[in-house]
Structure 1
Amino acid sequence: MSLDAYHHIARRSEPGAPLVFTFHGTGGDEHQFTGLVAQLLPGAGLVAPRGDVLEHGANRYFRRTGEGVYDMADLATRTAKMTGFISAHRAANPGVPVYALGYSNGANILASVLFGAPDLFDRVVLMHPLIPWKPAPNPALASVSVLLTAGKRDPICPLPLTQALADYLREQGAPLTLSLHDGGHELRQTELDAIAGFLTPGA
């Protein structure tokens, strides 16, 4: 486990506020969701790692050989690395609720960590993930609240795969909220509203 396994932004939580991990999409960086977190959760801590794989100059968290075709061995290696990174930061912030949100490629690496180590998180937001494999069962997912968002006409993350992921999470007993909009791979205001409600329950 290493606090510095990735180039990242880190700031500590104010008392009573959560620690939020953010994971950017392909071509994004560690700054992609800092403003959103500050807006939704003032006082929250932040850990935002930059993907350490370059695809034609674009930051990513793992390699792929084509659109929607993952290098599964590389994904496994980088999932283990990210799990260690998250574990180290969680250990450095004992007793603090841990939230995480990821978009597109960031949602994919976050989901891959979640499938194997759900105990690292209290709440997880997966925005437009593409999971083209069947994850192994893990009943410990029942302890994590998950918001899954997607576009019904997303050409990158087809709706049947989104629905398959939702079915898998429900089968594991995870408290799941599914929020779909009528568009494609873009983030829409209805989606951001759903994220705000999910990360600030009872606000």
Structure 2
Amino acid sequence: MSEYSEENNILHRDLSFSYRLLRPANASGECLFVLHGSGVDETTMLPLARQIAPRAVLVAARGRIAQEDGFRWFERITPTSFEQSSIRAEEAAFAEFAAVAAKRHGLDLQRATFLGYSNGANLVSTLMLLHPGLVRQAALLRAMRVLDDTPAPDLAGTRVLIIAGAADQTYGPFAPALVTLFSQRGAAVDARIVAAGHEFGDADAAIVRQWLAGATPVA
């Protein structure tokens, strides 16, 4: 298991988004930006991220919109419809945050992977559409299309992994449209289905780990 320095217990609050930076002593040079789902915080995705890439530097950010006892990334109207102005404002702020955080901590965004779950995955997918070139590699767990007016950037050279849950009755039906959207914009898309609902688990970790290694994931 990787060992982490004392700095990893710190919640950084000096940028536009609060975040934790986890840098293992035996860091491999990999970097994951980790974005949580709604109603929780940045710590909930850390066990999954460590399982996927135990030697990677992790940047676990916290959404700025309060929801129940946790946070989310932008305002929602219903579980599957979202406030468009909030999406665009938070996306712009996060794009700036990612660039500044990467520069501050010596991370190469061109080699980073953005790992998002549910509302966090929606933020990552939209980030690719509104700020093309910032995200070159993304793993999206239980994601859906959230923009009403979707731009059409050229995403050639971008790798996208989309993992849907077979029993996810809320987001699952929207996964094929997201796969089509990114394929039409030139991204290299790997679409997978796991025997799960909206929750993530070991099957997701195994698929993402193999995908990052360049192997063919098996759901």
Question: TM-score, normalization: structure 2?
Answer: 0.82
Unmatched segments (≥5 aa) in structure 2: 1-12
Alignment partner of 1:5 is 2:16: yes
Distance 2:77 2:20 in 1: 29
Unmatched segments (≥5 aa) in structure 1: none
Contact 2:52 2:205 in 1 (8 A): no
Contact 2:156 2:187 in 1 (8 A): yes
Write the mapping of 1:120-135 to structure 2, written as runs, cut at 5 A: 120-132=134-146, 133=148, 135=150
Alignment partner of 1:75 is 2:90: no
Alignment partner of 1:65 is 2:77: yes
Contact 2:166 2:195 in 1 (8 A): yes
Q: 1:58 to 1:94 in 2, by over 3 A?
A: closer
CA RMSD of aligned residues (A): 2.2
Q: Measure how far apart 1:183 and its partner are.
A: 3.5
Any idea what the Cα deviations from partners look like across 1:173-200, whole Å, max 9, x if unmatched? 1111001124421224332221111122
SS at match of 1:118: coil
Alignment length (residue pairs): 199
Distance 1:190 1:39 in 2: 11
Alignment partner of 1:162 is 2:164: no
Q: Measure how far apart 1:57 and its partner are.
A: 3.1
Distance 1:70 1:104 in 2: 13
The percent of aligned pairs where both chains have the same amino acid is 24
Determine the structure 2 residue equivalent to 1:138: 153
Any idea what the Cα deviations from partners look like across 1:119-158, whole Å, max 9, x if unmatched? 223321010012143521111x111111001123322214
- Which structure would you say has the larger RCO, counting Cα contacts within 8 Å and 6 or more residues apart? 1
Runs of 4+ in 1 over 3 A off after TM superposition: 11-16
Q: Measure how far apart 1:69 and its partner are.
A: 1.7
Q: 1:111 aligns with which of 125, 142, 147?
A: 125
Write the mapping of 1:1-203 to structure 2, written as runs, cut at 5 A: 4-12=15-23, 16-92=28-104, 93=106, 95=108, 97-132=111-146, 133=148, 135-139=150-154, 141-159=155-173, 161-201=174-214
Contact 1:179 1:191 in 2 (8 A): no
SS at match of 1:163: helix
Distance 2:145 2:103 in 1: 28
Question: TM-score, normalization: structure 1?
Answer: 0.88
SS at match of 2:150: coil
**Aligned amino acid, residue 158 of structure 2:** V
